[in-house]
Structure 1
Amino acid sequence: RFFWPKHSSPAHGCRCNRGLEGVRGDGEEALLPHPLGMFLCCCPPQASGAIVERLEEDFSAPFYVSYDPLVRNVTYVSDVEGQWEYFCNFVDHSKGLSFIVPSEPHLRRDADLLELVLEDGWHFVYGGDACDKGSGTLRFLEALVTLKRRVPDRVHLLLGNGDINRLCWAHELNSADLGAPKEVNVPLWTVVGPFEFDPQDFDGRREELAHLEGKFPHEINDKDVMKSYMEGLKPGGWLREYLQVAQLCVMLGETLFVDGQVVALAQDEEAVARSAEEKEQADLEMEDWCTRLNAWARSRLDDLDAKPAWEKLLDQIPKRRPAASGGGG
């Protein structure tokens, strides 16, 4: 989504005629004007200022505010959801982003064929929801994370609800879940709770594993698929790496990028306790709000390291009991 928030500082109010290249929900490209100014990045080259110092005190998880005088154009796409061919089509039409090695989407399975290049003077924003509805999640995550590592100050990855939902494994599982029975009568991915999957998601991962390993889908069993999901969240896994470098919101000039929408004055305890004047002031401090939101998200993601018990779940994955053969009674 694109938003143009109101800034508190006149210094950020210039209206330079810059290009914002994006793809909307209907698949159409968009070229939108946006100003030059402040932007937030999780990996900038420097950090300073009162906002950072205050966040270190409040959250013990500093986040950074940086300024890039060279920002000119932004290429943007969102909600790929593991649909690899869709993303490759976007790259083919993007003016700022391209693959280093030309190839057909179905052939892009090795690291050298997944490598992207971002043109000088361009920023790339991915608007969130990277995972699971298509059969290209692993390749897509690898391509984005690799690009982010190479160009950290001009690549901005957002956390979508689909990405964050995978953290349910770390937050909702407890010691009782670790003692799950070894055999169940239903497919694991239809169980309500942290393990829940849409069958399309589960089968899409099976297809991708088969594609990457040069096998037929029926040669990839349920445990192989679950192992892939688990390993993605472990240190070094592509989903884990994406979560570590992504953020909830990004500002480029006066353009705010988030997944979904911004709800004004959410009714949490802190918001209810504020006076009308305090609420008005909070509405003006957009950079501060973004920085605090991203720092809060980072502190929540740190729970992955604080709750390592979920990593033992692979050995506890229930086996599907084979269907009983037909016959008498």
Structure 2
Amino acid sequence: MKILYVTDVEGNWDYFLRFIQTVQTSPHTLNALTFTDASHTRLVLQRGYQFVFGGDVGDKGVVNTDRLIRVLLALKHDYPDRVVLIAGNRDVNKMRWTSEFTDVEMDLKTMDPGIKNGPHWLPETTRQSLGIIPYLSKLARNGQDVPITSTDSSSSINYTALDAVNTKWFLVRI
């Protein structure tokens, strides 16, 4: 059995198309992997070949990443014994978001102090610039280094204002 291998496509549809074109035109793999039609939504894997996707399906571009994922999953569905999909480091990093960016993890009141305040081994005056609170405070003040203070005298941090800028922007599709 011959193996066709591609990796690190990272949402680059043109790169993936060039791989398919290379497979179609190479004398060693002539038409081993071809699209069924001009819509490029489904692939045919010829007998005698195994396809391995080595990971990093997407990182740049939502539209092409989704398209690539659909094509790869359809290929795996059609040839479950001859298609291997490996999760790359970028893929695994995206999968972690479902647990690391939950409301509990992102709540500034319960956030791990090492994340919120910066490394404990540095003096407080040094680590303030490393913590998330100063960074979010700056964001909430439109880039100005003005600390956000609460109207409540028991706290110097206005968590409502900080939560407003502590969004999961990278999980929202634009």
TM-score (norm 1): 0.31
1:99 is matched with: 35
Distance 1:117 1:169, change over 3 A: same
Deviation at 1:88, TM superposition (A): 0.9
> Which ranges in structure 1 are unaligned for 5 or more consecutive residues?
1-71, 190-194, 196-222, 226-329
Classify the secondary structure of the residue corresponding to 2:50: strand
Deviation at 1:133, TM superposition (A): 1.9
Are the equivalent residues in 1 in contact too, given 2:11–2:68 (CA < 8 A)? yes
Classify the secondary structure of the residue corresponding to 2:56: coil
2:99 is matched with: 171
Indicate yes or no: 2:8 matched with 1:86.
no
Counterparts of residues 38-49 of structure 1 (less than 5 Å) = none
Alpha-carbon distance between aligned partners in 2 of 1:173 and 1:119, rounded to the nearest angstrom? 42
Alpha-carbon distance between aligned partners in 2 of 1:74 and 1:120, rounded to the nearest angstrom? 11
Distance 1:147 1:167, change over 3 A: same
Give CA deviations for 1:2-47 in whole Å, capped at 9, x if unaligned.
xxxxxxxxxxxxxxxxxxxxxxxxxxxxxxxxxxxxxxxxxxxxxx
2:77 is matched with: 149
Higher relative contact order (CA 8 A, sep 6+): 1
Give CA deviations for 1:264-306 in whole Å, capped at 9, x if unaligned.
xxxxxxxxxxxxxxxxxxxxxxxxxxxxxxxxxxxxxxxxxxx
Distance 1:184 1:90, change over 3 A: same
Deviation at 1:154, TM superposition (A): 0.3
Indicate yes or no: 2:121 matched with 1:140.
no
Distance 1:174 1:137, change over 3 A: closer
Alpha-carbon distance between aligned partners in 2 of 1:87 and 1:117, rounded to the nearest angstrom? 15
Classify the secondary structure of the residue corresponding to 2:5: strand
Structure of higher CA gyration radius: 2
Are the equivalent residues in 1 in contact too, given 2:101–2:168 (CA < 8 A)? no
Alpha-carbon distance between aligned partners in 2 of 1:149 and 1:186, rounded to the nearest angstrom? 36
Alpha-carbon distance between aligned partners in 1 of 2:168 and 2:100, rounded to the nearest angstrom? 20
Alpha-carbon distance between aligned partners in 2 of 1:162 and 1:84, rounded to the nearest angstrom? 17
Counterparts of residues 65-84 of structure 1 (less than 5 Å) = 72-84=1-13
Counting strand residues as a fraction of each chain, which structure ranks higher?
1
Deviation at 1:92, TM superposition (A): 1.1
Aligned residues: 113
Q: Percent of counterpart pairs with the same letter? A: 37
Indicate yes or no: 2:105 matched with 1:124.
no
Give CA deviations for 1:132-165 in whole Å, capped at 9, x if unaligned.
2245100000000011011000001111000000
Deviation at 1:187, TM superposition (A): 8.8
Deviation at 1:168, TM superposition (A): 2.0
Are the equivalent residues in 1 in contact too, given 2:7–2:55 (CA < 8 A)? yes
Alpha-carbon distance between aligned partners in 1 of 2:99 and 2:41, rounded to the nearest angstrom? 32
Alpha-carbon distance between aligned partners in 2 of 1:169 and 1:185, rounded to the nearest angstrom? 15
Alpha-carbon distance between aligned partners in 1 of 2:104 and 2:4, rounded to the nearest angstrom? 46
Alpha-carbon distance between aligned partners in 2 of 1:97 and 1:141, rounded to the nearest angstrom? 16
Give CA deviations for 1:202-238 in whole Å, capped at 9, x if unaligned.
xxxxxxxxxxxxxxxxxxxxx443xxxxxxxxxxxxx
